[in-house]
Amino acid sequence: MAADAPSPATPPPWAWWQRGVIYQIYPRSFQDSDGDGVGDLAGILRRLDYLESLAIDCVWLSPIFPSPMRDFGYDVTDYTGVDPLFGTLEDFDRLLKALHDRGIKLVLDFVPNHTSDQHPWFQESRSSRYNPKRHWYLWRDPGPDGGPPNNWLSFFGGPAWSYDPGTGQYYLHQFAREQPELNYRNPEVLEAMRHCLRFWLERGVDGFRVDVIWLLIKDDQFRDEPVDPHWDGYHPHGRLKHIYTANRPEVHAIVRAFRALLDEYGERVLIGETNVPNDQLVQYYGAKLDECQLPFNFQLAYTEWQAPAVRALVHRYYAALPPGAWPNWLLGSHDLPRLATRLGSAQARVATLLLLTLWGTPTWYYGDELGLTNVPIPPEQVRDPQALNQPHLADRLGRDPQRTPLPWDGSANGGFAPPGATPWLPLGADYRERNVAAESADPRSMLSLFRALTRLRRATPALQVGAYAAVESGAEEVFAYSRELDEERYLIVLNFGGRGYRLDLRSVGAGARILLSTGLERCGRVPLGSLELAPHEGLVLYVEAPRWSATTERHRPRTLP
Ligand code: NOJ
Ligand code: MG
């Protein structure tokens, strides 16, 4: 597909994970129901009206499994339970049923690369070199100098190896030392994990987001990694090129084994955390589209925020997709600085419009719909192991600032936790003005914009599944494109800059109706020959009597979903 050609239409029927919007909840910070200052499942259950009001289609819950919480649930001691901090399995079943009753799917966060060091499997594994579970993990003899077996690094600082005096060997962990990595070259490990997946599939979950899926298999010869000449100079883990700890070719067989299991259960979704460059990312769809349906695409979160750069990356991504693959986009997560902090509040609105109108499934991070910004965390309140292990880099690498409690109203603790409770992380200083209640009452708020966009998207099949076509805007700072389905054409125009424009978009059609603007103040008919666009404004327009170019004609899907 040429770089700026329209996206090929994918034939119907479309699955829920193609049409819908995914909403990530970080459970510790959504709603605390029992006053321990940590969000819980009963809290989420109390907020279903809110989730419904967002017109999202699927909730992805960050991990809720029993865990010592060294990495806040990404260190699991039991893959088939619920941590008491969050509730019980019965609470989980209640939540799942209540979400399903409202037509909302539920995706769990599955963490197969590593367990907690408190997991019984690791306890057994470390008990003796001859324990049957010894080779469930990656144990190596010390290097010649008695130090780590090779130069591999942890994302959380320091070597990826820790010495275990009991058995005189090192074990591998690319995150905290309390997160030993499993050995997927041992078929027993894969079988054990598939068993855990089944447990949740049988309960009715709609899919999984798989943590660090690209790291699951390491080099079988444990070779040293070379120094990266393009190192950014500050992130210690980036000093090496991770050619032996990441993206090993054998990983794809593991992903296929997960996917095959999901396919036994009908329409379930496998989402991969694939925090890798474009060319590697698209490989996680699988040669026969038999791996992830949605390998997460982080590119909008990392790009320089300029219209030409964003347009180029969108086209590069679409062009790289294997035939039949479905794209996806995200702007935030518990690992990324807040959207409004990265882009500022005006461009955060433009980015939201982009995310919810591009071709591809959008994933949204809780709280970004309020325009929450990173909350400064005083040193004594830092909780994130990535920051605690590298205090000199805490300002740049700490992830607590984007994980703070959701403010529901202007009361004590923002309604997140009962008055008198101490939230596990502080709320933002602006929570009395920036909260769900205040923004619901303000027709121009970020929350009102988010709701207007998700509702428009839900009511407009072309925005969900229609073909994408590039539109030449004539202005360097303006990214424009259309979404097309049957005889309908929607035009999206996004101003990435601080000056206004008058655009000539007659190539798309003569006139249009504004359906939504980022300012939530414009609507009605406009001429496309001289379309006014305010600074930092984004528009969704319905094109009246569209002009079809030869290419769009060819790629237009013909069937309504
Ligand atoms: C990726 C998760 O998103 C992150 O929060 C976590 O620390 C690491 N994987 C380790 O599980
Ligand atoms: Mg609680």
Domain boundaries, the chain: 20-113+186-454, 120-172, 467-555
Domain 20-113+186-454 has CATH 3.20.20.80: yes
Q: What is the mean pLDDT of residues 188-201?
A: 98
Cα 153 from Cα 242, distance rounded (Å): 9
Question: What is the tens place of the pLDDT at every residue in 350-396?
Answer: 999 999 999 999 999 999 999 999 999 999 999 999 999 999 888 88
Question: What is the tens place of the pLDDT at every residue in 240-253?
Answer: 999 999 999 999 99
Specify whether the CB–CB gap between 154 and 173 falls below 8 A: yes
Cα 353 from Cα 505, distance rounded (Å): 19
CATH of 467-555, one of 2.70.98.10, 2.60.40.1180, 3.30.70.360, 3.40.190.10: 2.60.40.1180
pLDDT for residue 13:
84
pLDDT band at 7 (very low <50, low <70, confident <90, very high): low
pLDDT band at 550 (very low <50, low <70, confident <90, very high): low
Q: How far is the CA of 451 from the centre of ligand 1 (A)?
A: 29
Q: What is the mean pLDDT of residues 309-324?
A: 96
Does 10 score more than 70 pLDDT? no
368 has catalytic annotation: no
Q: How far is the CA of 59 from the centre of ligand 1 (A)?
A: 18
Beta pairing, strands 105-110 & 207-210: parallel
Q: What is the mean pLDDT of residues 503-532?
A: 96
Cα 185 from Cα 399, distance rounded (Å): 32
211 has catalytic annotation: yes
pLDDT for residue 9:
56
Percent of the chain with pLDDT over 70: 96
Cα–Cα separations (whole angstroms), residue 495 to 54, 305, 338, 351, 490:
25, 11, 21, 10, 17
214 CB within 6 A, ligand 1: no
Quick one: which ligand is closest to 43's CA?
Answer: 2
Write a three-state SS string for 364-426.
EECCHHHCCCCCCCCHHHCCCHHHHCCHHHHHHHCCHHHCCCCCCCCCHHHHCCCCCCCCCCC
DSSP codes, 290-343: -S-SEE---HHHHS-S-HHHHHHHHHHHHHHSPTT---EEES--TTS--HHHHH
Specify whether the CB–CB gap between 9 and 554 falls below 8 A: no
Q: What is the pTM of this model?
A: 0.96
Average pLDDT of the chain is 95
pLDDT for residue 12:
74
pLDDT for residue 94:
98
156 CB within 6 A, ligand 1: no
Q: What is the mean pLDDT of residues 17-33?
A: 98
Minimum mean pLDDT among 59-63, 113-117, 189-193, 554-558: which range?
554-558
516 CB within 6 A, ligand 1: no
- Residues paired with 467 in a beta bridge: 484
Q: Which atom of ligand 1 is nearest to the CA of 399?
A: 5
542 CB within 6 A, ligand 1: no
pLDDT for residue 1:
41
pLDDT band at 551 (very low <50, low <70, confident <90, very high): low
Residues with CB under 5 A from ligand 2 (ion): 32, 34, 36, 38, 40
pLDDT for residue 234:
86
Question: Which among 377, 300, 285 has a CA at the least distance from the CA of 333?
Answer: 300
Beta pairing, strands 524-527 & 509-517: antiparallel
Specify whether the CB–CB gap between 179 and 75 falls below 8 A: yes
403 CB within 6 A, ligand 1: no
Q: How far is the CA of 423 from the centre of ligand 2 (A)?
A: 9
Q: Which atom of ligand 1 is nearest to the CA of 62?
A: 3
Question: What is the tens place of the pLDDT at every residue in 68-95?
Answer: 999 999 999 999 999 999 999 999 999 9
pLDDT for residue 69:
98
pLDDT band at 167 (very low <50, low <70, confident <90, very high): very high
Percent of the chain with pLDDT over 90: 93
Specify whether the CB–CB gap between 483 and 518 falls below 8 A: no
pLDDT band at 426 (very low <50, low <70, confident <90, very high): very high
pLDDT for residue 378:
95
Q: What is the mean pLDDT of residues 256-283?
A: 97
Q: What is the mean pLDDT of residues 208-229?
A: 98
Q: Whose CA is nearest to atom 6 of ligand 1?
A: 74
Catalytic residue among 40, 57, 206, 211: 211
Does 552 score more than 60 pLDDT? no
Q: Which fold has domain 120-172?
A: Oligo-1,6-glucosidase; domain 2 (3.90.400)
Q: Pick the more confident residue, 4 or 451.
A: 451
Cα 260 from Cα 272, distance rounded (Å): 14
pLDDT band at 547 (very low <50, low <70, confident <90, very high): confident
Q: Which of 26, 177, 211 to mutate to test the pocket of ligand 1 (most atoms within 8 A of CB)?
A: 211
181 CB within 6 A, ligand 1: no
